[in-house]
Amino acid sequence: MRIATWNVNSVVARLPRLLDWLGTAEPDILCLQELKTSADGFPTDELADLGYEAAVHGTGRWNGVAVLSRVGIADVRRGLVDEPGFQPEDALLEAHEPRAVGASCGGVRVWSVYVPNGREVGHPHYDYKLRWLQALRATVQVELAAAPFAVLGDFNIAPTDADVWDPAAFATSTHVTPPERQALAELRALGLVDVVPRAMKHDTPYTYWDYRAGAFHKNMGMRIDLVYASTGLADSVRDAYVDRDARKGTGPSDHAPVVVDVDLSPAG
DNA sequence: ATGTCATGGACGCCATGA
């Protein structure tokens, strides 16, 4: 079985690239992030033509996550346990954002997550990020009972200094701070394993490169798209890689897909 | 480090978020 995750930076703008990629990579399960559209705008029919069903959690212009599956989809759950919202400075009410959706596909329980960016250390969004990660932990704690299990997506955290192109450039940034990394450690402590993809080029398994300043060609990247698998599922992993080709060419997302092949057969 | 995108609202540009 092939399981993948991809922040597509608008599923509508990326539809030609997404359909092309599905046709060649042929994942059984694909977790999508940054749909940037509501469920109404989601390209359900085009994906169904390729044999994929979808569990969608989207509300409009920002965020949005989905699980695609060609091995069945059931028990869809939208949102986290005790999920926090984000309250912009000028808003009266905090708004819940579509950043997490879970589904059972072909005997595997998967969650597609888009962790808040955090913007700047000390910004209200950074505090929201840490609170959101605590809710993710509470959700995983419950959902992990349905193993094999994995939570995949854009975590907006580089787990180690080796996962950023220049640690010095991130000295005062989000994505690398001890509280963010501690939140990842607490997820792993529940019984999850960071499935690190093999390096393809430059000996780095980065998954994200800024659109600006030729970052991709200079390999100024980060590994922030992660696959956190239950121990049993991690044991069944036969290969894991970043599909850098999906970051090349015309009209790419700024993220590349992470692809994981697992062998779930009893003898596997 | 900041040379790019994508979206949506009031328009052939700006604000927002990443």
**Does A75 reside within a domain?**
yes
A40, part of any domain = yes
Return chain A residues 202..221 having CB < 7 Å to nucleic acid strand B.
210-215, 220
Catalytically active residues of A are 114, 154, 255
Residue A19: inside a domain, yes or no?
A: yes
User: Is residue A9 situated within a structural domain?
Assistant: yes
d(C-alpha A76, C-alpha A103), whole Å: 4
Q: Note whether residue A100 is domain-resident.
A: yes
Q: Is A9 annotated as a binding residue?
A: no
The pLDDT value recorded for residue A87 is 80
Separation CA A136–CA A144 (nearest Å): 12
Q: Is the CB of A10 under 7 A from strand B?
A: yes
Segment A249-266 mean pLDDT: 96
Q: How far apart are CA A230 and CA A68, in angstroms?
A: 20
pLDDT of residue A88: 73
Span A83-96, average pLDDT = 81
Q: Is residue A268 part of a domain?
A: no
Q: What CATH number has the domain bearing residue A184?
A: 3.60.10.10
% of chain A exceeding 90 in pLDDT: 93
Is residue A189 assigned to a domain?
yes
Q: Torsion-angle region of residue A113: left (phi > 0), alpha (psi -120 to 50) or beta?
A: beta
What nucleotides of chain B have any atom within 7 angstroms of a protein Cβ? Answer: 1-8, 17-18
Is A170's CB less than 7 Å from nucleic acid strand B? no
pLDDT tens profile A168-186: 999 999 999 999 999 999 9
State residue A202's pLDDT score: 85
How long is the CA A160 to C1' B15 vector, in angstroms? 34
Tell me how far apart the alpha carbons of residues A81 and A87 are, in angstroms, rounded to a whole number: 18
In-domain check, residue A206: yes
Average pLDDT, chain A: 96
Q: Cβ within 7 Å of strand B: which of A 140-159?
A: none
Q: Using CA atoms, how far apart are residues A82 and A87, in angstroms rounded to an integer? A: 16
Count up the domains in chain A and report the number: 1
Task: Flag whether pLDDT at A47 surpasses 80.
Answer: yes
Domain enclosing residue A219, as ranges: 2-262
DSSP string computed for A227-238: EEEEHHHHHTEE
> Distance between CA A44 and CA A247 in Å, rounded?
24
**A173 Cβ contact partners less than 8 Å away, ≥ 6 residues apart:** A120, A121
How far, in Å, CA of A184 to CA of A202, rounded? 25
pLDDT band at residue A94 under the 50/70/90 scheme? confident
